[in-house]
């Protein structure tokens, strides 16, 4: 799906691992988002995988979790979960994360017409990501989720439809 100029979202099947296998974050960032190999090895159901493409190249990745409201008490019926959001280390700091987050709500409205909000957790130490999400219009719900491997996480929510 083409979004704003230069950024595209490509739905991936498990057989598409090779299209994104090269995408890596810095070793100290893995605790925040996992790895591509972890995402493709997972047997979790109701997860949609996407590549983020910029200028035709796969430079990032994310998962949309359709069972988020069944998994987490802080999520509500109709919420989508944003997970494993990552921009390849070599492409970070060039505005691709910001452009992706700006384009994502409209893309998700088209891809998931019934969705009400996009919800995520972000480690309180991951200040670059926290700032990126807030700038993109996510609202910090004030909830703290303690289930993460790397410590407490903020819960953030971006409405996709009027309440």
Ligand X SMILES: CC(C)(COP(=O)(O)OP(=O)(O)OC[C@H]1O[C@@H](n2cnc3c(N)ncnc32)[C@H](O)[C@@H]1OP(=O)(O)O)[C@@H](O)C(=O)NCCC(=O)NCCS
Q: Which of 36, 51, 87, 107 binds ligand X (CB under 6 A)?
A: 87
How many Å is the Cα radius of gyration of the chain? 15
| By CB under 6 A, residue 9 contacts ligand X | no
145 and 155 in contact (C-beta within 8 Å)? yes
12/127 Cα distance (integer angstroms): 29
| By CB under 6 A, residue 85 contacts ligand X | yes
Task: Name the segment binding ligand X (CB under 6 A); options: 5-13, 39-47, 94-102, 136-144.
Answer: 94-102
| Entry field: residues in the chain | 163
For residue 55, what is the DSSP state? T
Smaller CB separation from ligand X, 96 or 115: 96
Q: By C-alpha distance, which of 137, 68, 70, 65 is closest to 98?
A: 137
Q: Which of 12, 96, 107, 136 binds ligand X (CB under 6 A)?
A: 96
Q: By C-alpha distance, which of 144, 142, 120 is closest to 132?
A: 120
- Minimum separation from the CB atom of position 162 to ligand X (A): 26
- Minimum separation from the CB atom of position 5 to ligand X (A): 15
In the structure encoding, which two tokens stand for residue 59, read together? 């430079």
- Minimum separation from the CB atom of position 53 to ligand X (A): 14
H helix runs in 34-144, sequence order:
36-41, 68-71, 96-111, 127-135
- Minimum separation from the CB atom of position 100 to ligand X (A): 7
Task: Name the segment binding ligand X (CB under 6 A); options: 35-43, 82-90, 109-117, 139-147.
Answer: 82-90
Binding site for ligand X (CB under 6 A): 25, 29, 32-33, 85-87, 92-98, 120, 122, 126, 128-129, 131-132, 135
């Amino acid at each position: 799906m083409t979004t704003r100029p230069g950024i595209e979202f490509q739905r991936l099947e498990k057989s598409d691992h090779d299209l994104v296998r090269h995408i890596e974050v810095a070793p100290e960032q893995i605790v925040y988002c996992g790895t591509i190999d972890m995402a493709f090895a997972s047997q979790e159901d109701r997860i949609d995988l996407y590549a983020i493409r910029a200028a035709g190249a796969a430079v990032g990745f994310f998962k949309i979790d359709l069972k988020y409201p069944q998994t987490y008490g802080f999520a509500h019926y109709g919420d989508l979960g944003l997970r494993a959001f990552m921009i390849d280390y070599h492409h970070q700091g060039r505005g691709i994360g910001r452009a992706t987050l700006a384009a994502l709500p409209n893309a998700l409205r088209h891809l998931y017409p019934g969705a009400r909000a996009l919800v995520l957790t972000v480690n309180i130490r991951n200040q670059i990501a926290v700032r990126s999400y807030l700038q993109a219009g996510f609202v910090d719900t004030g909830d703290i989720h303690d289930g993460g491997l790397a410590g407490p996480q903020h819960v953030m929510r971006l409405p996709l439809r009027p309440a």
